[in-house]
């Protein structure tokens, strides 16, 4: 078999590598060649780990040759969001403030993927510290959407979404605090999953808002996402919020269909989604109904307030989490005559505008006199959202919404208007606040023939049902168009590899 016969899904790659039909080295070379050909246009990566990937592939091939088990994801290339710690390998969060920092340990998800035989091919670009919806907040220049390089890939995990869409790796890992896996997945035409809070370890994920952050996969198929989540999920004693249970079997029900399942339509969902997006979500309801599901109307009145509550809670937590970047412990230090001046100069130089905005918003929301009015009130709204979802899930097994209100937008469209950018996550944020799982599944195209994702939401730990519905949507979905990467002058967005 030649490198040209390398399969495209993680499951097929692992099966072929395990059976000795294709070598892990061929798989890796094939993906590095795709990166060589198109990364200049896409800028998915902050760093490509070519040597490390080749060495890992050789080790997998040696294991196969020796008759050892190379792992369930043997030879599967993985693109890691650059806020996941990788031992000895720079982890930047796409921020200048971590310049030169090399973590002394691997994130648990990184360790688990490697133990399963997967091969890290690079660290992907993101909005600085995962704050944003377009990757335009990266200190290293934006990532471009492989479906239209004049448009954003979404964010904050835009690099991982673009890497998968572009064929640089069949699997990407991202983090989702308010939608940063599901929204870029929707914009790039790939599957993206935000698991139940606590299902996947955050040990080694650089914290943004700790009560909301979750790690999850990007893949081409629902089955691949299930396979990856089965590897990275499950209890980790190194993360105190990790649920002390094994990850449920997600792959088993994928072919079961949706006959008898109740799919909820949120009648009081916030408006604002573009007509092409609304049309695809309606088509998704129709497809599930045709496959035997019952569509039920539910109300989630507090859904509308999710965005407002999030922009108090997430910045509040961020202002605390980011206090550690002081020029002493990590990365950048800007020298100054005394310690206080050094802190100020370092943080002034090291953080970008959006990160500074969040730190100020969060500090304000937590300050004496405002705490009850802002942060405290947001926590009450958070509770209302959870209660509303609980009532809705008495009547519905899953809920269907848009993942993103629009298809991929052009660079610069929303950079002058933070609120417009924040509105990208209207439909994804509430399930972060409630801790519930959600995923985006490609379901055809809209304006400019760009991908649209439908979001499936489910109660905590009901991933098996969520994946079952996602698999049905995948079967009913029109084919996602191939990426239209073309050569463009990349002006300042070059890879920092
Ligand atoms: N776009 C949202 C924000 O800027 C969500 C980010 C995320 O999920 N990391 O905060």
CA 127 to ligand 1 centroid distance, Å: 9
Measure CA of the first residue to CA of the last residue in the chain; give whole Å.
Answer: 31
Q: Check residue 497 and give its pLDDT.
A: 30
- Determine contact, residues 187/408, Cβ cutoff 8 Å: yes
Q: Which of 81, 94, 127 to mutate to test the pocket of ligand 1 (most atoms within 8 A of CB)?
A: 127
What pLDDT score was predicted for residue 269?
Answer: 98
DSSP 22-77: S-HHHHHHHHHHHHHHHHHHH--EEEE-HHHHHHHHHHHHHHHHTT----TTTT-E
Cα 179 to averaged position of ligand 1 atoms, centre (Å): 6
Of 94, 174, 178, which is best to mutate to test ligand 1, by the most ligand atoms within 8 angstroms of its C-beta?
178
CA–CA separation, 314 and 438 (whole Å):
18
156 is catalytic: yes
Taking the centre of ligand 1 as the mean of its atom positions, its distance from the CA of residue 353, in whole angstroms, is 15
Q: Are 177 and 130 in contact (CB under 8 A)?
A: yes
Catalytic position from the list 23, 133, 134, 180? 180
Residue 380 annotated in active site: no
CA 294 to chain CA centroid, Å, is: 30
Ligand 1: atom nearest CA of 180 is 8
Kindly give the parts of the chain with pLDDT less than 70: 1-4, 486-497
pLDDT at residue 485 in the model: 76
Q: How far is 213 from 230, CA to CA, in rounded Å?
A: 19
- The whole-number pLDDT of residue 363 equals 97
Q: Classify the phi-psi angles of 327: left when phi > 0, otherwise alpha if psi is within -120 to 50, otherwise beta.
A: left
Q: Which atom of ligand 1 is nearest to the CA of 432?
A: 8
Ligand 1 centroid – CA 375 distance (Å): 18
Closest CA to ligand 1's atom 5: 178
Residues forming beta bridges with residue 79, ordered by sequence position: 122, 172
pLDDT at 323: 97
423-463 residue pLDDT tens = 999 999 999 999 999 999 999 999 999 999 999 999 999 99
Atom of ligand 1 nearest to the CA of 310: 10
3-state DSSP call for residue 79? strand
Ligand 1: which atom is nearest the Cα of residue 209? 9
Is the separation of the CB atoms in 389 and 434 below 8 Å?
yes
Q: Which residue has the tokens 């050892």?
A: 68
Distance from Cα 212 to the centre of ligand 1, integer Å: 10
Note the pLDDT tens digit of each residue in 34-49. 999 999 999 999 999 9
Q: Which residues line ligand 1 (CB under 6 A)?
A: 130-133, 156, 175-180, 208, 314, 425
CA 355 – ligand 1 centroid, Å:
11
| Full-model pTM | 0.96
The Cα-based distances of 239 to 36, 123, 233 in angstroms read 37, 22, 12
- Closest ligand 1 atom, CA of 133? 1
Sole residue written with tokens 């990160």: 355
Q: What is each CA distance from 73 to 175, 406, 477, in whole angstroms? A: 21, 34, 26
Q: 215 with 112: CB under 8 angstroms?
A: no
* The domain made up of 10-260+437-489 is a member of CATH 3.90.1300.10: yes
Average model confidence (pLDDT) across the chain: 96
Catalytic residue status for 180 = yes
Catalytic residue among 81, 123, 194, 414: 81
């Amino acid at each position: 078999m030649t490198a040209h016969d390398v399969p495209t899904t993680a499951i097929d790659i692992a099966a072929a590598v395990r059976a000795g039909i294709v070598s892990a080295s061929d798989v890796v070379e094939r993906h590095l060649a795709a990166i060589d050909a198109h990364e200049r246009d896409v800028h998915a990566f902050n760093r490509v780990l070519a040597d490390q990937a080749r060495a890992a592939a050789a080790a997998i091939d040696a294991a196969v040759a020796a008759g050892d088990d190379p792992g369930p994801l043997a030879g599967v290339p993985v693109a890691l969001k650059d806020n996941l710690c990788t031992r000895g390998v720079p982890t930047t969060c796409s921020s200048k403030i971590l310049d030169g920092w090399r973590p002394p340990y691997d994130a648990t998800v990184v360790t688990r993927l490697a133990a399963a035989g997967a091969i890290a091919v690079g660290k992907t670009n993101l909005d600085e510290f995962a704050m944003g919806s377009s990757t335009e907040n990266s200190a290293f220049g934006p990532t471009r959407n492989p479906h239209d390089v004049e448009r954003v890939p979404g964010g904050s995990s835009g690099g991982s979404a673009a890497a998968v869409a572009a064929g640089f790796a069949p699997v990407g890992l991202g983090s989702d605090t308010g939608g940063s896996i599901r929204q870029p997945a929707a914009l790039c035409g790939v599957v993206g999953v935000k698991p139940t809070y606590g299902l996947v370890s955050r040990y080694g994920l650089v914290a943004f808002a700790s009560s909301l952050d979750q790690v999850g996969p990007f893949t081409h198929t629902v089955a691949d996402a299930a396979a990856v989540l089965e590897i990275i999920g499950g209890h980790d004693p190194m993360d105190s919020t990790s649920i002390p249970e094994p990850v449920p079997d997600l792959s088993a029900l994928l072919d079961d269909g949706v006959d008898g399942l109740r799919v909820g339509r949120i009648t009081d969902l916030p408006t604002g989604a573009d007509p092409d997006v609304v049309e695809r979500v309606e088509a998704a309801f129709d497809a599930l109904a045709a496959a035997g599901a019952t569509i039920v109307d539910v109300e989630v009145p507090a859904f509308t307030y999710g965005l407002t509550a999030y922009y108090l809670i997430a910045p509040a937590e961020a202002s605390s989490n980011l206090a550690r970047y002081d020029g002493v412990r990590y990365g950048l230090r800007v020298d100054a005559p005394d310690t206080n001046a050094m802190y100020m100069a370092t943080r002034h130089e090291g953080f970008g505008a959006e990160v500074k905005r969040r730190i100020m918003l969060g500090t304000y929301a937590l300050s004496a006199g405002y705490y009850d009015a802002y942060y405290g009130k947001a926590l009450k709204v958070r509770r209302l959202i959870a209660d509303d979802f609980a009532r809705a899930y008495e009547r519905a097994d899953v809920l269907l919404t848009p993942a993103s209100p629009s298809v991929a937008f052009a660079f610069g469209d929303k950079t002058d208007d933070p609120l417009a950018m924040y509105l990208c996550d209207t439909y994804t944020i509430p399930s972060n606040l409630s801790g519930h799982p959600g995923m985006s599944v490609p379901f055809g195209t809209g304006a400019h023939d760009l991908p649209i994702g439908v979001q499936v939401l489910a109660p905590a730990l009901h991933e098996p049902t969520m994946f079952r519905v996602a698999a049905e949507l995948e079967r009913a979905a029109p084919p996602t168009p191939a990426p239209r990467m073309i050569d463009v002058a990349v002006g300042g967005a070059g890879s920092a590899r």
